[in-house]
Amino acid sequence: MKMPVLFIGHGSPMNIIAENSYTRSLQKLGEMLPRPKAVLVISAHWETQGAFITAAPEPDIIYDFYGFPPELYQTRYPCPGSPEVAGWLQRMTQQQINTHPRRGLDHAAWAVLKHLMPRADIPVLELSLDRRRTPQQHYQLAKQLEPLRGQGILIIGSGNIVHNLSRVNFDSLYGQEVSWAVEFDRLISQLLLTGDHERLIAYQALPNAHLAIPTDEHYLPLLYAVALQTPDDNLDFICSDIQNGSISMRSLMLNQSPE
């Protein structure tokens, strides 16, 4: 069976301990997903020179956020890693991806998986974003990950379609949505539904892109997900929330159509 592909908007670290429509959507999705052999997360929070994949057998949890309630730093996600999958992926991409034997998992991975797979009993690996690659080159690298779906690996891009921390309203989780964020989120959703990958890759030319994507590390994981779309995939939006006025929590699943 070919595994689904996900893109998850992860937003504020407060979602780690929150109960809201977004976290409930992840919990519901987790109940629907087939059990994977391993999970590969493309993280908005790990940028490197060259592409790297975690290869620690027991990855540490990285608390890569500051000034939040103590409860967040007490949260654990003690999942295993998989050096075997990391090595296989390195060989499959002809050494385009390097293994990192010590790197742990940042909250782009474990904050999402805490809701999706709360038992933390499935191996998790994380793939970095190579700063040297263009959006088109990220898309092409993602294409090489397609065989993983047939090997029982769940691939998750974790970022946000709209992510501009200088424009967020930290005092209001829901409500007071800004127009440019809503418009950009809806435009991207239309391009996803029509399969217009060219415009998704050339996102800089889209209206309001300079506001929605001032830096591209949270957007690029979306390109990894859409690059893996095949003609027999259905696209379903799992969540379409806007949080803090201008952070798009839009999340999606690409899943093989039933025969």
Residue 44 sits in a domain of what CATH number? 3.40.830.10
Q: Rg (Cα) of the chain, in Å, rounded? A: 17
Q: What pLDDT is attached to residue 114?
A: 98
Mean of per-residue pLDDT scores for the chain: 96
Q: What percent of the chain has pLDDT above 70?
A: 99
Question: In Å, what is the CA distance from 172 to each residue of 79, 242, 245?
Answer: 33, 11, 7
| Tokens standing for residue 203 | 């996102």
Residues 6+ apart with CB under 8 A from 218: 44, 159, 160, 161, 163
Q: What pLDDT is attached to residue 95?
A: 87
d(CA 173, CA 103): 32
pTM above 0.75, yes or no: yes
pLDDT tier at 134 (50, 70, 90 boundaries)?
Answer: very high
Question: In Å, what is the CA distance from 135 to each residue of 44, 129, 201?
Answer: 14, 10, 6
d(CA 184, CA 208): 6
Q: What pLDDT is attached to residue 176?
A: 87
- pLDDT of residue 33 exceeding 60: yes
| Tokens standing for residue 255 | 């899943």
pLDDT digits (tens, 9 = 90+) for 63-89: 999 999 999 999 999 999 999 999 999
Q: What pLDDT is attached to residue 135?
A: 98
For residues 232 and 8, is the Cβ–Cβ distance under 8 A? no
pLDDT tier at 254 (50, 70, 90 boundaries)?
Answer: very high
Closest alpha carbon to 53 in 82, 77, 80: 82
For residues 248 and 208, is the Cβ–Cβ distance under 8 A? no
Total domains in the fold of the chain = 1
- pLDDT of residue 17 exceeding 70: yes
Q: What pLDDT is attached to residue 50?
A: 96
Three-state DSSP class for residue 60: coil
- pLDDT of residue 259 exceeding 60: no
Q: What pLDDT is attached to residue 170?
A: 84
- pLDDT of residue 30 exceeding 80: yes
Reported in sequence order, the residue ranges of the chain that DSSP labels E, i.e. its strands, are 5-9, 38-48, 51-54, 97-100, 124-130, 153-159, 233-239, 242-243, 247-248, 251-256
| Structural domain that includes position 201 | 5-256
φ/ψ (deg, to 5) at 20: -150, 180
Lowest mean pLDDT among 30-44, 113-127, 167-181, 227-241: 167-181
